[in-house]
Amino acid sequence: MKVVAVIPARGGSVGLPGKNIKPLNGVPLVGRAVLAAAKSEYISGVYVSSDSSEILDVAATFGAVGIRRPAEISGSMASSESALIHALQEIEGISGKVPDVLVFLQCTSPFTTSEQIDAVVSKLLEEQAASAFSAIEDHGFIWQTGEDGTAVGITHDHTKPRQRRQDMTPRYRETGAIYAMRVPEFLERGNRFCGKTALVPVEMPPIEIDTPEDWIVAETYARLHDPHRLAPANKIKALITDFDGVHTDDCVIVNQDGSEAVRCSRSDGMGIEMLRHRGLKLLILSREQNPVVKARAAKLQMDVLHHIRDKLPALDAWRSELRLEWREIAYIGNDINDLDCMKVCGMSFAPSDAHPEAKVIATMVLQKSGGSGALRELSEYLISNDLIG
C-alpha cells in the first residue's frame, strides 16, 4: 500500500505574511511538516503544493518534492481539497500511479510528530475507515445565541447543575494538523471526510499559527518542548552584535552641548561576560560613529568596528582574519542594515522590538527588547543549548 503526504502551503497569508517559510526555533513551518512526514513509518513520498517558488525551494532543502499549484486554486478562497486533488493528479504523472492513502498535513500546526502521523494512518487501516483525523480532548463549555437572543448551551445543558470535568462524556476537537484519506473515496467525494471516519486522539499543544499572536505562543512553547529543534551543523564560535537597538533601547539622550548618552543593561553585560568566559569571539559591528560605542565595547572586552555603513564586507574581512566560517557565526541585529549579515551567518537573532524585516529572517526572535535583556536572553540560550564550540 502506497502512502504519500501532501502539504499545501500558499505563498499569500493575510494574517501573518511569509509564515510558511518563517523559522520557528530555527526551522521554518513548511520544513517542520516535511520533517514530520519524512520520519513516518508509513509515508513513502512527501510533496509540497505551493504557488510560491520560495516555499518550494525551502521545502526542497528538507527533502520534499515540489508541486507548482496553478493560480486558479491558489487564492485565499481556494479549498485545501482542490490543492490535494491537483497534487494527486501531479503525483500520478510523476510516479505513474495514484497512491492508495493520502496524508494531508498543515504547516499551521508546527509541533506535529511522525508518531502522531503514524497513529492516524494506523487507525485508518485498522478500522478499515475511509478517512481519519487527529483530535485533542476538549472540555470547553460551548454556547450559542438562541432564537430569542438568550444564551443556549451546546456542549452542555445549562439548565442543570454544572458537570465536573471527570463526569463529562469525552469530547474532541480537530487539531487541524493531520488527516488521512483513502484516495479512491477521497477523489469520488472531494471531501477529506469521505465515508467512515475514525477519530484519533493525540497529545499535542492546541496551537495553530494564523496570526502574530499565535506565533508568539508557538515561540514560547518551542523554548520548552520542540520535536523539530535543529542543532546547527557547527557549534557557534563568534557572536556579532549591532549596537543601537541591541545593546541599547535605540534611543539617545542629547545634552545641551550636543553630547549624546545611551542606556545599556547591566544584565546584558553579564550575559556578554558569560559568553566571553566560554571562549566565544565577540564583536560589536555598528553604523554609529558616537564614541560611546567604542567605550562600551572596551567595557565589555569586545572587538569593535563602528561607523561602518556597509556591514557585510567589514564582517567578512573580520571573519577571514580569524579564519571563521559563516556557519560558525551568530548575529543579532534589529534593523534593515543588519539583514545582509543575518542572512549569511549560521544563526541570527532579533530583539522583540526589532524591525519587522529583521524579525522575519531571524532564526529566533527573542522575548526581550533591545537594551532590556535581549543579549542576556541570547547568551543563556546559547549556553543552555550547548551551542558554543
Tell me the per-residue pLDDT of 332-356, one tens digit each, with 9 for 90 and over. Answer: 999 999 999 999 998 899 998 999 8
Pair (17, 151) in one structural domain: yes
Q: In this structure, is residue 114 part of a structural domain?
A: yes
Q: In this structure, is residue 230 part of a structural domain?
A: no
Pair (208, 277) in one structural domain: no
Task: Report the Cα 174 to chain-centroid distance in Å.
Answer: 21
Q: Are 188 and 194 in contact (CB under 8 A)?
A: yes
Q: In this structure, is residue 233 part of a structural domain?
A: no
Q: In this structure, is residue 228 part of a structural domain?
A: no
Pair (87, 195) in one structural domain: yes
Q: What are 274-320's pLDDT values in tens digits?
A: 999 999 999 999 998 888 999 999 999 999 998 899 999 999 999 99
- Judged by DSSP in three states, 294 sits in helix
**Residue 361: predicted pLDDT:** 79
Average pLDDT, stretch 353-379? 88
Q: In this structure, is residue 349 part of a structural domain?
A: yes
Q: In this structure, is residue 366 part of a structural domain?
A: yes
Pair (159, 251) in one structural domain: no
In sequence order, which ranges of the chain are alpha helices (DSSP H)?
Answer: 29-38, 53-61, 80-95, 114-126, 183-189, 212-224, 266-277, 291-300, 311-321, 339-344, 356-361, 374-384
**Residue 7: predicted pLDDT:** 97
Pair (46, 119) in one structural domain: yes
Directed axis angle between helix 29-38 and helix 114-126, to 10°?
50
Pair (185, 49) in one structural domain: yes
Question: Residue 228: which pLDDT band, with cuts at 50, 70 and 90?
Answer: confident
**Residue 187: predicted pLDDT:** 96
**Residue 231: predicted pLDDT:** 58
Q: In this structure, is residue 60 part of a structural domain?
A: yes
Pair (170, 247) in one structural domain: no
CATH number for the domain including 280? 3.40.50.1000
**Residue 92: predicted pLDDT:** 94
The vertex-283 CA angle with 258 and 271, nearest 5°, equals 90
**Residue 244: predicted pLDDT:** 93
Pair (123, 248) in one structural domain: no
Q: In this structure, is residue 226 part of a structural domain?
A: no
Residue finishing a domain among 164, 199, 214: 214
Question: Residue 230: which pLDDT band, with cuts at 50, 70 and 90?
Answer: low
Q: What is the CA radius of gyration of the chain?
A: 25
Pair (300, 183) in one structural domain: no
Q: What are 40-72's pLDDT values in tens digits?
A: 999 999 999 999 999 998 898 888 999 999 988
* Residue corresponding to grid cell 487507525: 123
**320 grid coordinates:** 577571514
Q: Which domain holds residue 109?
A: 3-214
pTM metric for this prediction = 0.65
Pair (89, 47) in one structural domain: yes
Q: Judging by DSSP bridges, how do beta strands 303-305 and 143-145 pair with one another?
A: unpaired
**Residue 360: predicted pLDDT:** 73
